Amino acid sequence: MTDETSANIGVLFVHGIGSQQPGATLRGFGGPLIESVGRWLGEGNVERTAPSRPSDGPEHERLRIADGDREIEVLAAESCWADTVRRPSYFALLAWLCTAVPFLVTRGLDTGLRRTNRTIDKQLTRPDDRAARPRSALGAVRILGLTAVRLLQNVVVVVVSLASLVLLFVFGAFGLSWWLRRLPGIVVSYVGDSYALLRDDGSAAAMTERVRRDLSWLQKRVGPAPVVVVAHSQGAEVVRRVLSRRDAPPVAALVTFGSGIEKLDAVDRLRHSLGRSLLAFATRIGSVAALALAVVAAVDGRPWWWIVVLGAIAFASLTAARALLRSIVGAEYDATRLGVGPSQVTRWTDLYATSDPVSEGALPLGSLGSSREIVNRRLIFTDHTSYWQNVEAFRAAVAVEIARAVRWWDEIAEPARIVEAATERARRVWWLVGARWIAVAGAVTVWLALGRGALAGVGLAAGALVVAFAAEVAWRKWSNRYTDAEYRERAARQLTTV
């Protein structure tokens, strides 16, 4: 390796929500991502040193990535801000959750609903004529189907949100706060960190100061060499705040994935308009109630107009709630809200998974870069935490950004072989989705055949979960064979052709 103070590029990894320990980010996804750069460029060309942590800086390691006659020295570091968060008392967190859960949970689960809304909007709007009307009879049928999907998606979101509130009150009433604090999931890791950023000015300042300090340390160590920042989830918002307050030197590239930037902005705006926000949530509950009454009316054999009227009320209520929420949050996230320009970052790449509940979709980056959708697992429970397992679409994208920063790849477009690999992965994931639906459909069919008993339903639900889990394991092994084949074929060899 070269002199300790020299490097061709610096890469800073910033973690998201959770209780990460120092070094965990660098080991968990920092190292694998950097190593993927070498693997995409060919086998056996990555040399690594053991991680170290100086007293004046973050944990880091040095890597050498070689490709034929060329090589780069990478100084990879992490910025661990988890220990700067002051955890709120249980009752302070509970009080905040009572007003935040309707927005945090619904906003997290509303990804599919918002996409359905956007699809309906496109169906209703012609490119050459903004008048809202279907393009054809087939288009009208599709809109009716999407409307039904929209109503059902709202039911799921509202039920989960209300159930979350009930559980929180139960925990508080029975003194189970000690158990709640130990939950590694949404309540502490997600909501607790969000609480700290949005409500605790001291914690928010400490988070941004930690990332600012680590970024400055890295830029000082690499000197004039480019710096790439890779940030996940809430870490993307922390980095955005850091960059928005500094003018120079700009980072060469920023890669955000599963970004919480837009969601945190939306939740903050909703909580600052609490009355209207709660009214919108109550209106959504009214939509669910009307839809439930329509189902009851159909089962009881009521006149057809009962069902039509109740369905219309459900639709109108959900539409009114959407209009009210848009008046608070805004129809679309505006690029001016980012507060980041060319003097802070030269190029920004944002990646979001199809079913990631944290990401709000594409960020409006404008001339700074691009925001695009990738396919992880198409599962809301895992898409946010499985990016670094996605070699073809995610790791390859990071590899390209590092290659661009050191001028190994000067094109704006992605290398064709990487695009093909990501497309093939997306096709493979549909097989996984199909296996899940087969497990669910099979369980429902057997349950109906057995007479719909409650005990049978519980047993079949458990069986469906086991089958779905087995399908996930089998799919992963099958998919990894393709990934290894891509590596062996030097899938992104175009990266070396400038």
Give pLDDT tens digits for 65-79. Answer: 776 677 788 899 999
298 C-beta neighbours (distance < 10 Å), count: 14
Is the pLDDT score of 102 beyond 70?
Answer: no
Tell me the average pLDDT of the chain. 79
Classify strands 369-374 and 253-257 as parallel, antiparallel or unpaired: unpaired
At residue 43, does pLDDT exceed 60?
no
pLDDT of residue 90 exceeding 90: no
Query: pLDDT at residue 352 above 90?
Result: yes
Give the pair of three-digit tokens for residue 171: 């925990």
Residue 154 confidence (pLDDT) = 83
For residue 421, give the amino acid letter: A
pLDDT of residue 450: 79
Residue 10: name the closest of 27, 41, 34 by CA: 34
Q: What is the pLDDT of residue 127?
A: 52
Which amino acid makes up residue 348? W
348/229 Cα distance (integer angstroms): 9
Q: How much is the pLDDT for 251?
A: 94
Phi, psi dihedrals of residue 342, rounded to the nearest 5°: -60, -25
What band does 173 get if pLDDT is binned at 50, 70 and 90?
A: low
d(CA 41, CA 108): 37
Q: 91 pLDDT exceeds 60?
A: yes
Determine which of 40-54, 132-146, 345-359 has the lowest per-residue pLDDT on average.
132-146
Is the pLDDT at 149 greater than 90? The verdict is no
pLDDT at residue 79 in the model: 93
Domain boundaries, the chain: 9-84+201-266+340-423, 90-198+271-329, 425-491
Tell me the average pLDDT across 340-365: 90
Non-local CB neighbours of 120 within 8 Å, separated by 6+ positions: 143, 146, 147, 150
Tell whether pTM > 0.95. Answer: no
Is residue 270 predicted with pLDDT exceeding 90?
A: no
Q: Residue 438: what pLDDT? A: 92
How many Cα atoms are found within 13 Å in the side-chain-facing hemisphere of 222? 29
Would you state the pLDDT for residue 401? Answer: 86
Looking at residue 408, what is its pLDDT?
76
- How far is 15 from 189, CA to CA, in rounded Å? 12
pLDDT band with cut points at 50, 70 and 90 for residue 164: confident
pLDDT band at 132 (very low <50, low <70, confident <90, very high): very low
Provide the sign of the torsion angle of the four alpha carbons 240, 242, 243, 244, taken in this order.
Answer: positive
pLDDT in tens, 213-266: 999 999 999 989 999 999 999 999 999 999 998 877 899 999 999 998 988 888
Burial of 392 (0-12, 13-18, 19+ CB in 10 A): buried
Sheet holding 9-14, edge to edge: 46-48, 60-67, 70-79, 9-14, 227-232, 253-257, 348-353, 369-374
pLDDT of residue 88: 65
Contact predicate 495/408, CB 8 Å = yes
> For residue 192, what pLDDT band results from cuts at 50, 70 and 90?
low
pLDDT above 80 for 291 = yes
Q: Which CATH number applies to 9-84+201-266+340-423: 3.90.220.20, 3.40.50.1820, 3.10.28.10, 3.30.420.40?
A: 3.40.50.1820
**Cβ neighbours, 10 Å, residue 454:** 8
pLDDT reported for residue 268:
82
Is the pLDDT confidence value at 5 over 60?
A: no
Contact 464, 440 (CB under 8 A): yes
Place of tokens 């003018």: 247
Strands 60-67, 46-48: parallel, antiparallel or unpaired by DSSP?
A: antiparallel
Kindly state the tokens that stand for 95: 């009080």
pLDDT at 497 over 50: no
Residues, the chain: 498
Mean pLDDT of 365-388: 89
d(CA 10, CA 36): 16
CA pair distance 348, 127, nearest whole angstrom: 29
* pLDDT at 429 exceeding the cut of 90: yes
Share of the chain above pLDDT 70, in %: 77
pLDDT band at 183 (very low <50, low <70, confident <90, very high): very low
Taking only Cα atoms into account, the Rg of the chain, rounded to an integer number of angstroms, comes to 25
Question: Between 259 and 138, where is the model more confident?
Answer: 259
* pLDDT number for residue 321: 86
Indicate if the pLDDT at residue 163 is higher than 50: yes
In 3D, which of 496, 468, 322 has the Cα closest to residue 382? Answer: 468
Among the residue ranges 27-41, 427-441, 479-493, the one predicted with the least confidence is 479-493
